[in-house]
Chains A and B, each alone.
Chain A
Amino acid sequence: DTAVSQTPKYLVTQMGNDKSIKCEQNLGHDTMYWYKQDSKKFLKIMFSYNNKELIINETVPNRFSPKSPDKAHLNLHINSLELGDSAVYFCASSRSKGEQFFGPGTRLTVL
């Protein structure tokens, strides 16, 4: 009965590779998010998305792109990975303007 799930939990890859992180929620929420948490624990919103609108944090490089095949999924694609992309990435979901529920995180390490 996991609410928000992410795969993989750990991802180790080389610079320049392209990778994806998957997120699924079974809460029936209409809005999903991607966050980046760096080594100092800063939480940075990257995207929020519902079936009507994608809001992109303007500081996010266009190498990052969210893809939503349906309301329950919001995957994160990252092209040409860089060392600075190493972080923990969290998916979250909510009803519009409601409490956000977070997934367990994906620790990405770029070598």
Chain B
Amino acid sequence: QQQVKQSPQSLIVQKGGISIINCAYENTAFDYFPWYQQFPGKGPALLIAIRPDVSEKKEGRFTISFNKSAKQFSLHIMDSQPGDSATYFCAARGWDSNYQLIWGAGTKLIIKP
């Protein structure tokens, strides 16, 4: 019940296209859902995060869509650019995970010029 399932494992998108990465969770006690971005040779960095009281959060070209009833959330990258090529991780946490982040398996995104 503590798992966060992320898909796809890898994704190739043409420059200018929309990249979509999906995550699903089981634990209804989760109350914070961040996305992290990791470039090769670097540590993950927080990209955008959402709490379950809203269904969408947008920051520039990055949007999180959140469906509480389906227990799913997704990252949309609009007008994808080669510089967006990275590994993306979704995560979740709540009181019964001791507020430790439970991580998805990661998605390697490649944006083709």
Which listed residue, A43, A55, A103, touches B106 by the CB 8 Å rule? A43
> Are the CB atoms of B99 and A97 closer together than 8 Å?
yes
Chain A residue with Cβ nearest B46: A99
The answer to whether B106 and A41 have CB atoms under 8 Å apart is yes
B44 and A43: CB pair below 8 A? yes
Assembled-state Cα–Cα distance A16/B54 (Å): 51
Instruction: Check B98 for interface membership: any CB of A closer than 8 A.
Output: yes
Judge whether A45 and B101 touch: CB under 8 Å: yes
How many residues of chain B have a CB within 8 Å of chain A?
20
- The reply to whether A102 and B43 contact each other, CB–CB distance below 8 Å, is yes
Chain B residue contacts of A104, Cβ below 8 A: 41-43
Contact of A42 among B42, B45, B98, B106 (CB under 8 A): B106
Residues of A within 8 A of B42 (CB): 104-105
Q: Is A25 an interface residue (CB 8 A)?
A: no
Given A92-B43, A103-B43, A104-B43, the answer on whether A48 and B87 have CB atoms closer than 8 Å is no
B100 touches A41 (CB 8 A): no
Instruction: Return the chain B residue nearest A91 by Cβ.
Output: B43
Question: Which partner residue on chain B sits nearest A53 by CB separation?
Answer: B98
User: In the assembled complex, how far is the CB of residue B100 from the closest CB belonging to chain A, in whole angstroms?
Assistant: 6
CA distance A4 to B44 in the complex (A): 12
With CB as the reference atom, state the residue of chain A lying closest to B32.
A97
CB-CB under 8 A from B43, the residues of chain A are 4, 90, 92, 102-105
Does A7 belong to the interface (CB within 8 Å)?
Answer: no
Closest to B93 in A: A97
Q: Give chain A interface residues in 61-105, CB to chain B under 8 Å.
A: 90, 92, 96-97, 99-105
Additional A-B contact list (8), CB under 8 Å, known A42-B103, A90-B43: A4-B43, A41-B105, A41-B106, A100-B46, A101-B45, A101-B46, A104-B41, A104-B43
Binding site for A on B (CB under 8 A): 32, 34, 38, 41-46, 49, 87, 89, 98-101, 103, 105-106, 108
Closest 5 pairs (CB-CB, A-B): A102-B43, A41-B106, A43-B103, A97-B99, A99-B46
9 inter-chain pairs at a CB distance below 8 angstroms, sorted by A residue, are A41-B108, A42-B106, A43-B89, A90-B43, A90-B44, A99-B34, A101-B46, A102-B44, A103-B43
